[in-house]
């Protein structure tokens, strides 16, 4: 317990220095503490290096997700870093990359996100890709989200319903309303939420 207290004190005193700590748990906490400073070039570079090369899968995932929190000036660097990281063998890293893309809201990775969401890979990574497509809000994702909302696994159908809430059009409305009759209660609940939000938004 004393060692942990010392580590936490080190982290509070010097979160940047703690990125190189021997304990991966401390490195993860350091990344979390520095998320609000990802717009600073030196911090961005240090965290991006961990995302690509740390020995701990969880540290790499934490760092990968943090890349999505950089400011606009570093968005091209973030996209370049994620393009290298996103094809990692670890589903946890792939999920983190998709989440980071959702934070960046740049349409550049749209084809990759669509392929990930539509594939038969890790369900959590697919959910993260669907959420990112909704956050980006590019119309090119609509047909994919409609297909997933009606035919994907339950968790993906639920996420797709929520993602469709940012789009308009009769096909979107039909897909969401079909969710009201879905056999899975989580999907029905998501569809009800989206329909309710649409009705509230349409009131004068």
pLDDT at 2: 45
Q: What is the CATH number of domain 1-77?
A: 1.25.10
User: What values do phi and psi take at 38, rounded to 5?
Assistant: -70, -10
Q: Which two tokens stand for residue 76?
A: 């091209």
Quick check: do 1-77 and 107-204 share a fold? yes
pLDDT at 6: 65
Classify residue 136 as exposed, middle or buried by CB count within 10 Å of its CB (0-12, 13-18, 19+): buried
pLDDT at 56: 98
Query: Does 3.90.550.10 match the CATH number of domain 107-204?
Result: no
Q: What is the 3-state secondary structure (H, E, C) of the chain?
A: CHHHHHHHHHHHHCHHHHCCCCCHHHHHHHHHHCHHHCCCHHHHHHHHHHHHHCCCHHHHHHHHHHHCCCCHHHHHHHHHHHHHHCCCCCHHHHHHHHHHHHHHCCCCCHHHHHHHHHCCCCHHHHHHHHHHHHHHCCHHHHHHHHHHHHHCCHHHHHHHHHHHCCCCCHHHHHHHHHHHHCCCHHHHHHHHHHHHHHHHHHCC
Please state the domain extents for the chain.
Answer: 1-77, 107-204
pLDDT at 156: 97
pLDDT at 71: 86
pLDDT at 203: 46
How many Å is the maximal CA-CA distance in the chain?
61
Task: Write out residues in the chain with pLDDT < 70, as ranges.
Answer: 1-7, 198-204
């Amino acid at each position: 317990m004393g060692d942990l207290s010392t580590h936490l004190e080190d982290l509070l005193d010097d979160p940047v220095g703690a990125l190189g700590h021997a304990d991966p748990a401390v490195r993860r906490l350091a990344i979390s503490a520095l998320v609000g400073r990802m717009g600073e070039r030196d911090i961005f570079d240090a965290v991006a290096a961990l995302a690509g090369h740390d020995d701990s899968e969880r540290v790499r995932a934490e760092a990968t997700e943090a890349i999505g929190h950089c400011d606009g000036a570093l968005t091209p660097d973030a996209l370049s870093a994620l393009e290298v990281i996103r094809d990692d063998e670890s589903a946890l890293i792939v999920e983190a990359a998709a989440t980071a893309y959702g934070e960046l809201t740049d349409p550049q990775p749209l084809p990759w996100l669509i392929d990930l969401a539509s594939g038969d890979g890790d369900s959590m990574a697919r959910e993260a890709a669907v959420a990112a497509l909704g956050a980006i809000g590019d119309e090119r994702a609509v047909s994919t989200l409609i297909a997933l909302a009606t035919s994907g696994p339950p968790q993906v159908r639920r996420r797709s319903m929520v993602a469709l809430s940012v789009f308009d059009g009769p096909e979107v409305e039909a897909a969401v309303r079909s969710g009201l009759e879905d056999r899975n209660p989580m999907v029905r609940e998501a569809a009800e939420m989206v329909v309710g939000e649409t009705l509230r938004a349409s009131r004068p």
